[in-house]
């Protein structure tokens, strides 16, 4: 089994992130045999499609250049002019064939793993200049496979070529007995036939090489279990770090919340568990707003701050529980609690006026109306 530097076996299949990072580095499966076969078949298709036209054009170019008049023999610029004309004619003749071959260059990579252009793959790597790594590639498993593949390809193509040419010897010999145009057409046909047979023989190698290259690529990218865990941590965040961040954020939020308690008009409490600090705008145009709320230790802290800053504390267990569970900090109270909170605030404000001697005393409200759908009996 493959091992990494830490000695752990790479037994896990590569993750999507690993495959994506490899693609960004230009590391994708490739098969030179597939590319070769695609190029050869493209050339066969080119000969089949354009062979007749090309043979006719070649015949015309040869006939034209073998026919000279007296002016061309004594004109020094005639050779240069003829060369330019013939070059343009050949380029025009071969242009469709070259275009087909250019398209065929991209078919093999698309079939294997898609196109990929990476600047990282073009960057120089000192490891490629390491003789030790070079010998390892030459005499390793990959080098052995390439050697066996080359020998098999040489034997296969050589054997097929010998059998094919020996069976077609007479047809090649007869090419010199006919006229030029028919000989060129027949020669094009024979070349196309030879190419088709040779390409078909190479398909045997491609059938084995493509799966092998994909398997080799996946094997190189395999991961240890530790690498999988580390990648999972990077993707989802380190649990300890995330917990610490949440803890710090909560502490900061609590400090901000507690700092607003002195601005509250009243703190409504359950004697043992809940505290909710409320404020009512001076203009009276909006509903009461929750400045802070807490349970257990935080509830006790809110009461302590309220006592320090002489904020009234009103004990109303059902209302305190309803406010705690159905409100958020810095949000207005729900409409169903308007009446109950209004009675509490009216009592608090009357107490202030009573302390100043500007209003008569008021009985403390009891049995505050809390709707059933907002009640919490825990």
CATH number assigned to the domain comprising residue 343: 3.40.1690.10
Q: Do 192 and 105 share a structural domain?
A: yes
With beta carbons less than 8 A apart as the criterion, state whether 221 and 45 touch: no
Strands 266-269 and 313-315: parallel
375: CB partners within 8 A, 6+ apart: 318, 321, 322
How many structural domains compose the chain?
Answer: 2
pLDDT in the model for residue 1: 44
Q: Do 191 and 109 share a structural domain?
A: yes
Q: Do 281 and 330 share a structural domain?
A: yes
Phi-psi region of 368 (alpha: psi -120 to 50; beta: other; left: phi over 0): beta
Does 313 map to a domain? yes
Q: Do 186 and 132 share a structural domain?
A: yes
Does 83 map to a domain? yes
Q: Do 153 and 288 share a structural domain?
A: no
Tell which of 220, 244, 277 closes a domain. Answer: 220
Q: Which domain holds residue 144?
A: 28-220
Does 290 map to a domain? yes
Q: Quick one: DSSP state of residue 262?
A: G
Q: Is the pLDDT of residue 21 over 70?
A: yes
Q: Report the distance separating Cα 359 and Cα 352, nearest Å.
A: 9
Q: Do 35 and 112 share a structural domain?
A: yes
Phi-psi region of 3 (alpha: psi -120 to 50; beta: other; left: phi over 0): beta
Q: Is the pLDDT of residue 353 over 60?
A: yes
Q: Do 271 and 347 share a structural domain?
A: yes
> What Å distances lie between residue 187 and 55, 114, 191, 193, CA to CA?
9, 37, 6, 10
Q: Return the higher-pLDDT residue of 316 and 212.
A: 316
Q: Do 195 and 337 share a structural domain?
A: no
With beta carbons less than 8 A apart as the criterion, state whether 327 and 333 touch: yes
Q: Report the distance separating Cα 36 and Cα 78, nearest Å.
A: 42
Instruction: Give tens-digit pLDDT for 169-202.
Output: 777 777 777 677 677 777 777 777 777 887 788 8
pLDDT in the model for residue 268: 92
Does 1 map to a domain? no
Q: Report the distance separating Cα 355 and Cα 295, nearest Å.
A: 31
Does 295 map to a domain? yes
Q: Do 266 and 195 share a structural domain?
A: no
With beta carbons less than 8 A apart as the criterion, state whether 320 and 268 touch: yes
Q: Do 358 and 298 share a structural domain?
A: yes
Q: What pTM did the predictor assign?
A: 0.43
Q: Do 312 and 165 share a structural domain?
A: no
| For range 149-172, the mean pLDDT | 80
Residue 292 β-bridge partners: 277
Q: Report the distance separating Cα 212 and Cα 145, nearest Å.
A: 10
Instruction: Give tens-digit pLDDT for 275-313.
Output: 999 998 755 557 898 999 988 888 899 999 989 988 999
* DSSP helix/strand/coil, 319: helix
With beta carbons less than 8 A apart as the criterion, state whether 109 and 23 touch: no
Tell which of 220, 247, 272 closes a domain. Answer: 220
Q: Tell me the two tokens of residue 178.
A: 């006919």
Q: Is the pLDDT of residue 2 over 70?
A: no
Does 363 map to a domain? yes
Q: Quick one: DSSP state of residue 267?
A: E
Does 16 map to a domain? no
271: CB partners within 8 A, 6+ apart: 315, 317
Does 336 map to a domain? yes
Q: Do 263 and 213 share a structural domain?
A: no
Tell which of 169, 202, 220 closes a domain. Answer: 220
């Amino acid at each position: 089994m493959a091992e990494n530097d830490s000695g752990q076996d790479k037994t896990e299949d590569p993750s999507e992130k690993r495959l994506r990072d490899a693609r960004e580095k230009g590391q994708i499966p490739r098969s030179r045999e597939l590319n070769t076969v695609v190029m050869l078949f493209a050339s066969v298709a080119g000969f089949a499609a354009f062979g007749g036209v090309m043979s006719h054009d070649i015949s015309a170019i040869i006939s034209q250049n073998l026919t000279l008049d007296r002016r061309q023999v004594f004109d020094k610029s005639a050779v240069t002019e003829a060369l330019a004309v013939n070059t343009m004619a050949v380029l025009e003749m071969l242009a469709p064939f070259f275009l087909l071959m250019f398209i065929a260059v991209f078919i093999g990579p698309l079939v294997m793993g898609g196109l990929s252009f990476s600047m990282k793959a073009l960057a120089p790597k000192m490891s490629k200049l390491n003789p030790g790594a070079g010998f390892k590639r030459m005499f390793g498993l990959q080098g052995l496979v390439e050697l066996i593949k080359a020998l098999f390809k040489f034997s296969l193509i050589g054997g097929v070529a010998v059998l094919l040419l020996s069976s077609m010897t007479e047809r090649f010999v007869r090419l010199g007995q006919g006229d030029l145009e028919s000989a060129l057409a027949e020669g094009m046909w024979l070349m196309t036939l030879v190419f088709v047979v040779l390409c078909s023989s190479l398909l045997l190698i491609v059938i084995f090489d493509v799966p092998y290259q994909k398997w080799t690529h996946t094997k190189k990218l395999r991961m240890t279990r530790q690498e999988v865990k580390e990648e999972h941590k990077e993707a989802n965040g380190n649990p300890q770090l995330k917990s610490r961040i949440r803890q710090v954020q909560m502490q900061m939020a609590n400090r901000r919340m507690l700092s607003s308690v002195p601005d509250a008009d009243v703190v409504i409490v359950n004697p043992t568990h809940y505290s909710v600090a409320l404020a009512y705008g001076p203009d009276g145009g909006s509903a009461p707003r929750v400045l802070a709320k807490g349970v257990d230790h935080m509830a006790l802290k809110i009461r302590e701050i309220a006592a320090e800053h002489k904020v009234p504390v009103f004990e109303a267990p059902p209302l305190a529980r309803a406010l705690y569970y159905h409100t958020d900090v810095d949000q207005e109270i729900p409409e169903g609690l308007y009446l109950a909170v209004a009675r509490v605030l009216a009592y608090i404000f009357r107490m202030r006026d009573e302390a100043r001697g500007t209003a008569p005393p008021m009985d403390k409200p009891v049995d505050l109306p809390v709707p059933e759908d907002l009640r919490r009996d825990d």
